[in-house]
Chains A and B, each alone.
Chain A
Amino acid sequence: MITKMTHVCVYVLNQKRAYDFYINKLGFKVVIDAPMGDDGRWLTVCAPDQPDLEITLYPVSAGSMFTKETAQAMTELIKKGTFGCGVFTCKDIFATYEELKAKDVEFTKLPKKEFYGIEAIFKDDSGNWFSLAQLG
């Protein structure tokens, strides 16, 4: 029986830049930051109130995981904003929106009342998009 999810992967174009975005702009916490081999780095972060769901910031580059062609195709798709990677919730969406906007986070949808709550959409520094929601 599966009990819960512990890791989710977000493919990013530049791991160092993604670190800055997720930690300094979104206010996430580092869970694991471990050097792997010569130039590898296993980097996971979490939303402040959810330490047991690690978001792996996985760099898209040619290597063992991706062939050169796959890495190239992934890069193009991520840049184009193809991938929606999930929904983050917050207590007060207007305050969260204003704060992220003050930190130059790009929004593609302003907070709007939907059937399930108030929702906005923002992009990370690579081009992955996330929903920001205040439910209820």
Chain B
Amino acid sequence: MTAVEPYPKVYLYRRIVQAKLFIDSNYASAIDVDNIADEAFFSKFHFIRLFKKVYGKTPHQYLTAVRIEKAMALLNANVPVSDVCCMVGFDSASSFTGLFKRLVGITPSVYGARQQHIKATMMHSPLSFVPGCFAEKNGWLKE
């Protein structure tokens, strides 16, 4: 499709989105809001205000949310908590565990164990997760 400018302030949107995508790709590094604002060519405060308007979170809050979400995915893949902490950009295990518990409601190790249990159930009795009509149509109910 031909590139057109379909709405006002398109360049602002593009910069904010680039900053968001920058966080999505670099969450594991020691980035802070100043880095991100530089990346988007904005003054820090103007950038924070616009980012929050679009995403409902400050860049720092969004970065934390991405790190915790990636941590959840790694714990789901059975990566040990001590490795997960560094892999999502935290320096200290205690700050990671504290923040994880505050946002998710349980500690990373409890979350990891729970996910492994769910996965094991899914492997052993997958049919309990599939609506019967589809299971039957697919022939999955045959002995």
Contact = CB atoms under 8 A, between A and B. Distances in A.
A42 interface: yes
Main SS at interface, chain B: helix
Contacts of B14: 98
Interface stretch (A12-20, A31-39, A71-79, A80-88): A31-39
Contacts of B13: 94-95, 98
Contact of A99 (B21, B130, B139, B140): B21
Given A32-B122, A35-B126, A42-B129, A99 B4 contact: no
A33 B17 contact: no
Contact of A95 (B55, B131, B140): B55
A102 interface: yes
Contacts of A37: 140
A34 B126 contact: yes
B6 A36 contact: no
Interface in B106-143: 122-123, 126-127, 129-131, 134, 137-140
Contacts of B71: none
A56 B18 CA distance: 31
A37 to B, nearest CB: 6
Interface string A10-54: 000000000000000000000011111100101000000000000
Interface size class of B (residues with CB under 8 A): 20 to 34
Contacts of B123: 34-35
Nearest to B136: A64
A99 B126 contact: no
Contacts of A102: 17-18, 21
Interface of B: 1, 4, 6-7, 10, 13-14, 16-18, 20-21, 54-56, 122-123, 126-127, 129-131, 134, 137-140
Interface of A: 7, 32-37, 40, 42, 56, 58, 63-65, 91-92, 94-95, 98-99, 102, 106-108, 110-112
